[in-house]
Amino acid sequence: MQVQQRPQGSYYADRIARVIFLLCAILLVMVIVSIFVFVGTNAFKLFAEGGNLRDFFFNTNWDPTGSGGAINPSYGAGGLILGSVVITLLSVLIATPLAFGMALFFNEVSPVWFSRLLKPLIEIFTGVPSVVIGFFGLIVIVPLLQNLVGNIVGNHQTAGYGWGAATLVLVIMILPTITSISIDALNTVPGSVREASLALGSTPWQMMTRTILPAATTGLATAVVLGMARAIGETLAVSMVLNGHTIPSFNQSPFNIFFQPNVNITQFIAIDFGEAYGAGRDAYFTLAFVLLAISFLFVCISRYLGSRSVYK
Amino acid sequence: MSVQGLQEAGMEHDVHLQEMKRVVRRIEIANGFGTALLWTIAAIVTILFVGIIVYLILKGAVYLFNPGFYGTESYGVGSEIFNTFYILIFAEAISLPIALAAAIYLIEYAKQGVLVSIIHFAAETLATVPSIVLGLFGILIFSITFHMGTSRIAGALTLLCLNLPLALRLFEDALASVPVEIREGGLALGSTKWRTIRTLVIPSALPGIVTAVILTAGKIMGEAAALLFTMGLTNPANVFTPDPYIASDTLTTHLYYIAGPGAGASGLTHSQETIVTAGSAALLMLLLLIINIAARTLGRFIQKRVTAA
């Protein structure tokens, strides 16, 4: 009796498919490596063309084209970096307690009908285009702040734009992100931990604050870190409500600084990169590289936290 | 024990009981307060989210009934709608096969090891790269190095980089949800691995795959920062061509330009600007809602068809 051989063709198809799939997976690695290489090489060109590392981080005079070639260009990105850091930290500070509260509510308190409403709502809101949130900021948040603080700040035309509005816009954007990752983090805590806590006589509130939250610490920290990563790179929504071209003078009350047009890294890339050329153009790649480095740092932190978590 | 001693012990017991009751009351008040706090946060956030969605849709809804809004006049966004769907299909057509192939490799072929960790780390890093940085990368590599200029194809390739990590993760989840017995059944019948994947695994993973396609479509449709410089903010005279080498704007980049840097400088009157911005925002929100509902119902529908054999 003759044994039916498996046709050679299907064997080769299997080999070829495997190689193609591998190449596609490796393409992903190549993309991220080439982002670092291409943006990085252009970024460091700036320091060969007259830029200076100390000025870049600590000087606040950002004028990479030298006012259209009239004066020597200046690459002080201190003000832009400060703007990004301030609005990112503030928005995370406001959004985090709300997001943790939402996650606790969703996992521990919420009745079923409310969870069924909340889950799609959070998912839908995560996907709202950033331009649309920016537009909402422009037509609702900025006028609102203008009415609230316009009289204190003075300068009614432009009051309301700035760090304050940008922070609120970012809160709206990162709240669903942090919430949904926090919900996943709380979900990883096994039910036996809850039962143990309740069996010892805890009230639900004690169970949540003293058992669930500490047990999910690393996952919650990951949520905050990823929220920060989203906040620091957010461009158009923030750019629309910052609406500034220079960092405001610091010889005024800190309150006023928050409610007048201001700048950050992403806003300057969005509005000025198109007209930049030569060394000025490379200066924007240096800004982009700063963002890239910060978000890479955030990924590393979140991975480190993930590797340390007890419950997966 | 004397009578007096017993009385003293009783009083001590009473004091103890009083203290216990106070502690319990305090704990219960804290519990009630905490629960109320969580309800308040949930109510505020829910009202905020629903309020924003409803506000944006209502604000622009009136313009959506005006046929001129979909035309090519100065305040119409017909060209932008065409461009949005053009770039959506273009970007999905190149990114989905690559992401699916990579997901198949990672789930079906690869052994757990250094390579898989590197690819996952790369995907995670790529997912957090700010989209404006991806836009600048797109200029460097597609527009300049590959001489594509400011064009639809440069925009689509930039969106490929943006879309890959999300699509990969969703496809991986879809494939991982297929039970291992299905694969074993295929292999035991003598199929090669590739045949098993093609005829058994992918059909079983179809609900997840469809959901992934729809969700990535939502992400591409809402993206703007990565397209700002790679695809431009202006349209040529006729956008209704399949030509991939022309610059064009989308609903999102157009909305950004008219509401942001182009406000008062785009040649539109203030009321025309409102039509474009509020109308586009409402249209984008509606598309987002449709996409989400479709992702839910279509996935469930296919699941029923596949499993109810």
B54-78 tens-digit pLDDT:
999 999 999 998 888 888 877 888 9
Confidence band for B123, pLDDT divided at 50, 70 and 90: very high
> What is the residue-averaged pLDDT of chain B?
89
Of A32, A127, A140, the CB nearest to B126: A32
The pLDDT tens digits for B20-45 are: 999 999 999 999 999 999 999 999 99
CA distance A167 to A149: 16
Give pLDDT, residue B270: 85
ipTM: 0.89
Min distance A78 CA to chain B CA atoms (Å): 19
Spatial separation of the C-alpha atoms in residues B68 and B269, rounded to whole Å: 15
Grade residue B158 by pLDDT with cuts at 50, 70 and 90.
very high
* Contact criterion met (CB < 8 Å) for B132 and A266: yes
Q: Per residue of chain A (312 residues), give pLDDT as tens.
A: 455 555 677 788 888 888 999 999 999 999 999 999 999 999 988 888 777 888 888 888 888 877 766 677 888 888 899 999 999 999 999 999 999 999 999 999 999 999 998 988 998 998 899 999 999 999 999 999 988 887 777 777 788 888 999 999 999 999 999 999 999 999 999 999 999 999 998 999 999 999 999 999 999 999 999 999 999 999 999 999 998 888 887 778 888 888 888 889 999 898 888 888 888 888 899 999 999 999 999 999 999 998 887 776
CATH code of B66-307, in short, is 1.10.3720.10
For every residue of chain B, DSSP letters joined together read --HHHHHHHHHHHHHHHHHHHHHHHHHHHHHHHHHHHHHHHHHHHHHHHHHHHHHHHHHHHHHHT-GGGGSSSTT--HHHHHHHHHHHHHHHHHHHHHHHHHHHIIIIIPPSSHHHHHHHHHHHHHHHS-HHHHHHHHIIIIIIIT---SSHHHHHHHHHHHHHHHHHHHHHHHHHTS-HHHHHHHHHTT--HHHHIIIIIHHHTHHHHHHHHHHHHHHHHH--TTTTTTT-S---S---S--TTS----HHHHHHHHHTTTTTTSS--HHHHHHHHHHHHHHHHHHHHHHHHHHHHHHHHHHHHHH--
Q: Taking CA atoms, what residue in A is nearest to B224?
A: A131
CB atoms within 10 A of CB B4: 8
Which helix (DSSP H) or strand (DSSP E) does residue A62 occupy? strand A62-63
The closest CB to that of B27, out of A98, A131, A203, belongs to A203
Distance CA B183, CA B115 (A): 23
Residue B203: what are its φ and ψ, rounded to 5°?
-60, -35
DSSP secondary structure letters along B82-139: HHHHHHHHHHHHHHHHHHHHHHHIIIIIPPSSHHHHHHHHHHHHHHHS-HHHHHHHHI
Give the pLDDT of residue A281. 87
CA dist., res. A269 & res. A280, Å (int): 11
Gap between the Cα atoms of B303 and A280, Å rounded: 54
pLDDT for the residue numbered A68? 65
Task: Give the separation between CA B193 and CA A16, rounded to whole angstroms.
Answer: 12
- Across the interface, whether the CB atoms of B119 and A208 are under 8 A apart is answered no
Statement: A48-308 belongs to CATH 1.10.3720.10: yes
Cβ-contact B260, A142 below 8 angstroms: no
Please, which residues 69-108 of chain B have a Cβ atom closer than 8 Å to chain A? 97-99, 101-102, 104-106, 108
Residues of B in contact with A298 (CB under 8 A): 128
A24 in Cβ contact with B107 (< 8 Å)? no
- Residues in B closer than 8 angstroms to A269, CB to CB, are 132, 136
CA distance B41 to B150: 45
The whole-model pTM stands at: 0.90
Residue B2: pLDDT over 70: no
Q: Residue B108 has which token pair?
A: 């079906």
Pick the residue of A107, A171, A236, A294 with the most B CBs within 10 A to test the interface with B by mutation.
Answer: A236
pLDDT at site A312: 67
